[in-house]
Structures are given as structure tokens and as C-alpha cells.
Amino acid sequence: MLLARYSYTTHSYFYKIIWANKDATCNFGSATMLFEIDAASVLELRCDDGHSKSLVLVQLGWLRAINTMARKLAALALLVALLGCVAHTCQAGYGFPYPLSSPKKSSSLVASTLNYAHYYKTCKGAEKIIRDVVQEEIKRNRGIGAGLIRLFFHDCFVQGCDASVLLDKTPANESTEKFGLPNIGSLRGFEVIDKIKTKLEAKCKGVVSCADIVAFAGRDATYFLSNKKVYFEMPGGRYDGRISSASETLFNLPPPFANITVLEAMFAAKGLNLDEMVTLSGAHTIGISHCSSFGDRLPRNAFDPMAMNPRFANSVTRKCKSASSTVDQDFKTPNKLDNQYYKNVLNHEVLFTSDAALESSKTKRLVKQNLVPNVWETKFKQAMRKMGGIGVKTRANGEIRKNCRLIN
């Protein structure tokens, strides 16, 4: 397994990689990469011009090699791709071109195994318990609602909607999804899921799956963040998965710097079409983002037809004092789930490259369509339901966890 630490500033890079057993140095561009070993056989790679560095954990368990030299060559190739290490700019976010590999195609949607009012007889009132907790938490902090919607998305896109994103590290598995690069330090809502699970276990032990809790919580967060405008039924009956791997997050979760071709391919791999991709992207109308996730968009490139407009770019730049700074994803209506996002796309007032990509010739028509009153809200309900059927586990290959953070 490879672990790395990195930081992003305008001119510097820092990676800390566990695998090496030998010092080495190399020059790349005008910056120096320094490989250093500490007592724990940790290799450090610096691409440094003297700027200060902050640390963010990166987990890249998929890089493996059979010997030290192969590891070294593989890691150097990876780091060149990751860093794009030039003297003046650095790719933020996940930090490398996508896709490094084709996204894993999910098993066909198995909505036939799900049904509405699934717990009516076995745990009556289960959905109300979930809704009440979600409402209480959103009243306390609306950002938690955005976190719950994102948690649902990140769960379904890796291993299917099976609560694999909730699993903690154990001695048997030290590299679960929540510690994957797209998730670590950015996913929220785990404690809310724990709270719901505790209440449900007290009412009807061993009945309600964690996967269904995540799906219902995402549905209810949508309802409350839209000021009760976007409500839909979500079928239940999902079982919890037993497999969770950080390495799978990289190949299955669309990165913030993806172009329209990559986005279309990654959603298609999950059985979602172009319209549904554009519709689900509308969830970026709520929540916050770390500045490191759109560092490729700053400073503004005046020659890029999809660049931020100058006023918005200046505003964001002032707020992004460091890579760890955060900004609202929708600066117009930051606390409301609505279709403002699509206006922002057309006005060049979105953060991610993947947001700006929706202005492409393939999707611009769909963006404009979602500005029609009630159109996006209707399509979002349908897309959320469909996403909730990705890779669903059954009794044959899943379980009902006693603790959402651990397999039974």
C-alpha cells in the first residue's frame, strides 16, 4: 500500500510516500524533488521553492510493485502524472489526469429487489425516525444536509449503494473508502448516520440496513434543503456490503477537474445517462468546497472559454487564502437546494472544471432546460431514485450491519 501526503500552494508540492528504502534526488523543471528517508522507512518527495506547506492525507493503495526498483519507477511515473510538476502552477484536487483506468462498471441497476414502504411491517416508523434526525441536524447546521447528499452519491458510485463508504479501518482492512483521496477530510455526516442507526437498533434490532439509512437520509436532506419543495419516495431493501477499498474511489468518483467526455463515461459506467449526469451535478447548488479542489482554475486563464468570469475569479481568489480554505459552491443561494447552479454555469460562476464543462455543446441545452421552473426538481427526484438502485446488495452477498462502521 502507498500512502502519501501532499500540499498545494501556487509554487510548491510535498509528497510523503511509504515504500522507499533509499535516498535519491532528481530535478524536474526548475524545482528540486528530494527523496528523504526517516526511521520508519518513509520517503519524502519535495518540489519546493521555499513556500510553507500544509498536509493533507492521500491514500493510493492501488500502486503496487513486486520489488523496490519497480516501486521506485512506478512511483516516479505516478508522481509526474500527479504533480504535473512545473515551476509555477500545480494541479489541485485529486491531482492527476483522469481516467488513469476505466471506471469500474457497476452491476446493472437492480431496482426490482427494492420496494417502497419496505419497513412498514418489519420496522414501522423507521423512515420517520430517519427524517426526524435529519431535520434536527439540518436545523443545527445546513451544511450537514449537503454532506448527507454527497455521502449518498459517494456511496453509490463505489461498490454500489451498500454503505461501504461508512466502514472504518480495521487491522484486516486499513484502507477503506472513507480514506480514499476523494473522500478523506471532505465527507460529512457519518455521526448523523450513527445516531440514526442507534435509534433504529433500539426500536427494531437488526432490521434496517445502513445502506437504506444513507439513501433515506440523502432523500430527506434534499427535502429540507429545498425548503420542502423536492420530496420523493425512495425504495428500500438494500443490504450492506462487506467490501470497502480506498483504491476504488479514485477510479469511480468523478474528479472536480474532469471534462465532459470523462464525466459522461464515468456516469455511463453506473448506468446513468448524460441528462442524469447534468441533473445530479445540480447538487453543487449546496455545500462548500476546499480551494484545493479547483486550484487548476486559479489564477484565471483569460484564453479559456470556460474560465470563471473576472469578477467571480477575483472574489474566489480573495477567499482562497490557502488550499485548505473553503468557499460556498453556490455563492448566490448557498443554503438552498435549487436550480441556481445552472444559472451559475452559464454565467461562468462555478468552481470546478467539471461544473464549467456542462457548458459544452453536448450539455448546454440540458443546462438551459433545467432553468425552466420545476423541471430540474422533477428530474432530480428521478435521478436520485435511479442512482439509489446502483449495485444494490441482496441477502446473498450482503448483510444488515449491527454497527454501520464495521462488518458483522
Confidence of residue 59 (pLDDT cuts 50, 70, 90): very low
Give yes or no for residue 74 having a pLDDT over 50: no
Give yes or no for residue 21 having a pLDDT over 80: no
Confidence of residue 310 (pLDDT cuts 50, 70, 90): very high
Give the 3-state secondary structure of the chain. CCEEEECECCCCEEEEEECCCCCEEEEECCEEEEEEECCCCEEEEEEECCCCCCCEEEECCCCCCCCHHHHHHHHHHHHHHHHCCCCCCCCCCCCCCCCCCCCCCCCCCCHHHCECCCCCCCCCCHHHHHHHHHHHHHHHCHHHHHHHHHHHHHHHCCCCCCCHHHCCCECCECCCHHHCCCCCCCCCCHHHHHHHHHHHHHHCCCCCCHHHHHHHHHHHHHHHHCCCCCCCCCCECCEECCCCCHHHHHHHCCCCCCCHHHHHHHHHCCCCCHHHHHHHHHHHHCCEEEHHHHHHHCCCCCCCCCCCCHHHHHHHHHHCCCCCCEEECCCCCCCCCCCHHHHHHHCCCCCCHHHHHHHCCCCHHHHHHCCCCCHHHHHHHHHHHHHCCCCCECCCCCECCCECCECC
Dihedral, 132, 400, 120, 110 alpha carbons, nearest 10: 100
Most confidently predicted of 99-103, 170-174, 365-369: 365-369
C-alpha cell at 227: 425548503
Give yes or no for residue 218 having a pLDDT over 60: yes
* pLDDT, mean of residues 354-360: 97
- Which of left, alpha, beta for 265 (phi over 0: left; psi -120 to 50: alpha)? alpha
Cα-Cα end-to-end distance for the chain: 25
Strand partners, 242: none
The chain-wide mean pLDDT, for the chain, equals 79
Give yes or no for residue 3 having a pLDDT over 90: no
* pLDDT, mean of residues 249-262: 94
Confidence of residue 298 (pLDDT cuts 50, 70, 90): very high
Give yes or no for residue 102 having a pLDDT over 70: no
Whether 154 is a known active-site residue: answer yes
Q: What is the pTM of this model?
A: 0.77
Give yes or no for residue 225 having a pLDDT over 90: yes
Confidence of residue 322 (pLDDT cuts 50, 70, 90): confident
> Between residues 194 and 45, which one has the greater pLDDT?
194
Q: Which of 118, 154, 284, 290 is catalytic?
A: 154
Give yes or no for residue 13 having a pLDDT over 60: no
- How far, CA to CA in Å, does 281 sit from each of 127, 272, 358? 26, 12, 9
Confidence of residue 113 (pLDDT cuts 50, 70, 90): confident
Q: What is the pLDDT of residues 260-292, one digit of tens each?
A: 999 999 999 999 999 999 999 999 999 999 998
User: What's the burial of 130, exposed, middle or buried (CB within 10 Å: 0-12/13-18/19+)?
Assistant: buried
Confidence of residue 49 (pLDDT cuts 50, 70, 90): very low
Give yes or no for residue 363 having a pLDDT over 80: yes
> Between residues 94 and 52, which one has the greater pLDDT?
94
